[in-house]
A and B are shown apart, each in its own frame.
Chain A
Amino acid sequence: MEKFLLKNIENPDSADINEYVKAGGYKNLSKVLESGPKEVVEEVKKSGLRGRGGAGFPTAMKWSFAMADPKFPKYLMCNADEGEPGTFKDRPILEKNPHLLIEGMVISGYALGSEYGYIYLRGEYPEANDILNAAIRQAYEKNYLGDNINGKGVRFHLSVHQGAGAYICGEETALIESIEGKKGQPRNKPPFPVNVGAWSMPTIVNNVETLSNLPYIIEIGGEAYSRIGSSECPGPKLFSVSGHVERPGVYELPMGISLKDIIYNHAGGIKDNAKLKAVIPGGISTPVLPPDSIDCAMDFVSMPKAGSMLGSGAVIVMDDSVCMVRVAYRALKFFEHESCGKCVPCREGTDWLRKVLERIEYGKGTEGDIELLSDIAEIMSGKTFCPLGDGAAGVVTAMIKHFRDEFEEHIKNRKCSLADSY
């Protein structure tokens, strides 16, 4: 497939505006400024674009809610928090193709009637911070940002806001709290950010990859875009593949490609021809899949039917040297650490799950611990303030469902038989 999101990234100067323009960059913005904002919205609607941040929400629908709100100014937030472990798909855009994102944001801002954009960038990406700031400066110099873009009287101002190491700030309402200078604790919904967001104004939060699709949609037209990949969630998708594969990395492939195809064809198969044990398909918040379930289409609609979720498209491949209790324990350590502490089921539940998993892994589990884990997970499910706690519960439930014998073995033998691997 021809690359668009990762186009030209082999060019060492790909982040430079001159290289970007040479490769056809910013021409889609110029095109849009001729035709008008309504046409952009129309094309996005036709494209069927769904958000790439994890939830797969239809972008045109989110936009229409914000546009229907009469309040101004409206703010456009690019979610570059990329905190879901296993995910590194936005990083090549941010570091190698920053102007694609900037062009996408200006086009989106123009369509939405928003004149102010912010990129909420995770603190763990210091290089991307420098690159984005340099790219933004260049875009101002060349008049692709500012008060009179392309001499058309269109305004859009953009800046980077650096996060400081809190996973929960990737959740859109926590992101907004954080940009307001507060702790990143999610807000109650409704009201939704599209009506009452940053500084109480309508706010559109979209992922880096989502916004970077805009120039492509304009270039080929919404209808042609809608024919790429899955019919229900079309377009190119970035998959970040890590773990025990021959060729880990970020792959731009059509949405709906089979997970098996990603692992065995694109990522070169299991490292050193080892035996596949498990795959986490969409970042560690998504339920694990056993080897016999990986022949599934990677899109937002098909993955739930296959027993997991597309999430951020972060594929983590594990061979049979990996202990699944250990993985569950490490995942829960993460969720416990990142729980924002606002709601009881998540704050207490993640802590409790982690404690039980820890004792099983270290040979101190007792009979009934597996049932206890399932109970805690069930109590948490659907009762947490935001999806973080739900995700944590789902991780444990799926681990027990597919690898119950490993949990039982730990408890029976009072040890982890793979402990030496770590």
Chain B
Amino acid sequence: MFNETVLKEIEEIKAKYPERRSALLPSLYIAQREFGWLSHEAMECVSKALNVPEAMVRGTASFYSMYKHKPVGRHVIQLCTNISCMILGAEKLVDFIGTRYEVQPGGTSPDNRFSLVIMECIGACGTAPAMLVNTDFHENLSEKRIEEILDKYK
């Protein structure tokens, strides 16, 4: 079960909406923060906290690509390969990250340091190629820049 502080946080979110189910997306983010990913237990906690059937929680969670349905590494690299990034070399960067950090799209490196997620446009097309590492934007990427940046995430 969520602890008291988290339950209180969810109660506050619920109060912002006329119906409690509306707090589902924000509560899933909280569950992900607490458990690291949306495990069965994490979704059960959300279901109980909101009094929304578990099937609905799981159905909704499965629709959105930013919810993690398996454990992830310590840092999540979210690299965009949509068109503005692609034409400026993003696909080669996927290969580079793959070899240099031993992590494939959708996977996690053996040392559990990085997970790699391929993104659809993160709204940084003017400074492409771009990625988010956890919640930080990094732009104008090249192989060298990526090494400099990722070395800071231990």
Interface residue ranges, A against B (CB under 8 Å): 82-88, 91, 122-127, 159, 161-167, 178-184, 199, 240-244, 248-250, 280, 284, 314, 316, 318, 321-322, 326-327, 330-331, 334, 337-338, 340, 422
Q: How far is the CB of A5 from chain B (nearest CB, A)?
A: 16
Please, what's the 1-or-0 string for B27-60, where 1 marks a CB less than 8 Å from any CB in chain A? 0110000000000000000000000100010011
Assess whether A242 is in contact with B84, with CB atoms less than 8 Å apart: yes
Assess whether B92 is in contact with A422, with CB atoms less than 8 Å apart: yes
Assess whether A165 is in contact with B22, with CB atoms less than 8 Å apart: no
Whether, in the assembled complex, B66 has its beta carbon less than 8 Å from a beta carbon of chain A, the answer is yes
Assess whether B64 is in contact with A166, with CB atoms less than 8 Å apart: yes
Q: A162-B29, A165-B65, A242-B84 are in contact. Are A334 and B120 (CB under 8 A)?
A: yes
Closest A residue to B92 using CB positions: A422
Assess whether B135 is in contact with A126, with CB atoms less than 8 Å apart: yes
In the complex, what distance in Å separates the CA atom of A88 from the CA atom of B56? 33
Assess whether B83 is in contact with A88, with CB atoms less than 8 Å apart: no
Assess whether B84 is in contact with A316, with CB atoms less than 8 Å apart: yes
Stretch at the interface among B1-9, B97-105, B122-130, B142-150: B122-130
Closest B residue to A422 using CB positions: B91
Q: Which of A83, A178, A181, A242 contacts B125 (CB 8 A)?
A: A242
Contacts of B23 in A (CB 8 A): 181
Q: Which of B52, B81, B124 contacts A181 (CB 8 A)?
A: B52
Subset of 8 A-B contacts with CB under 8 Å: A82-B123, A85-B120, A123-B64, A164-B28, A248-B126, A284-B82, A334-B82, A337-B120
Interface residue ranges, B against A (CB under 8 Å): 16-19, 21-26, 28-29, 52, 56, 59-60, 63-67, 78, 81-84, 86-89, 91-92, 119-128, 132, 135, 137
In the complex, what distance in Å separates the CA atom of A85 from the CA atom of B23? 28
Q: A123-B66, A167-B120, A181-B60 are in contact. Are A330 and B82 (CB under 8 A)?
A: yes
Q: How far is the CB of B126 from chain A (nearest CB, A)?
A: 4
Assess whether A124 is in contact with B123, with CB atoms less than 8 Å apart: yes
Assess whether B22 is in contact with A86, with CB atoms less than 8 Å apart: no
In the complex, what distance in Å separates the CA atom of A203 from the CA atom of B43? 30
Assess whether B86 is in contact with A422, with CB atoms less than 8 Å apart: yes
Assess whether A124 is in contact with B87, with CB atoms less than 8 Å apart: no
Q: A85-B121, A86-B84, A164-B29 are in contact. Are A127 and B19 (CB under 8 A)?
A: no
Closest B residue to A314 using CB positions: B125
Q: Which of B83, B91, B121 contacts A280 (CB 8 A)?
A: B83
Q: How far is the CB of A205 from chain B (nearest CB, A)?
A: 16
In the complex, what distance in Å separates the CA atom of A126 from the CA atom of B137? 9
Q: How far is the CB of A31 from chain B (nearest CB, A)?
A: 29
Closest B residue to A341 using CB positions: B63
Closest B residue to A338 using CB positions: B120
Closest B residue to A157 using CB positions: B16
Closest B residue to A82 using CB positions: B123
Q: A164-B65, A241-B126, A250-B126 are in contact. Are A85 and B83 (CB under 8 A)?
A: yes
10 smallest A-B Cβ distances: which pairs?
A: A181-B24, A164-B64, A165-B66, A242-B125, A126-B135, A85-B121, A181-B21, A165-B65, A183-B63, A242-B84
Assess whether A199 is in contact with B18, with CB atoms less than 8 Å apart: yes
Assess whether B64 is in contact with A165, with CB atoms less than 8 Å apart: yes
Assess whether A166 is in contact with B63, with CB atoms less than 8 Å apart: yes
Q: How far is the CB of A395 from chain B (nearest CB, A)?
A: 11
Q: A183-B60, A199-B19 are in contact. Are A243 and B29 (CB under 8 A)?
A: no
Assess whether A179 is in contact with B83, with CB atoms less than 8 Å apart: no
Assess whether B87 is in contact with A322, with CB atoms less than 8 Å apart: yes
In the complex, what distance in Å separates the CA atom of A124 from the CA atom of B22? 20
Interface centre among B19, B67, B122, B124 (most CB of A within 10 A): B122
Contacts of B137 in A (CB 8 A): 127
Q: How far is the CB of A161 from chain B (nearest CB, A)?
A: 7
Assess whether A162 is in contact with B123, with CB atoms less than 8 Å apart: no
Contacts of A340 in B (CB 8 A): 63
Q: How far is the CB of B95 from chain A (nearest CB, A)?
A: 10
Q: How far is the CB of B9 from chain A (nearest CB, A)?
A: 14
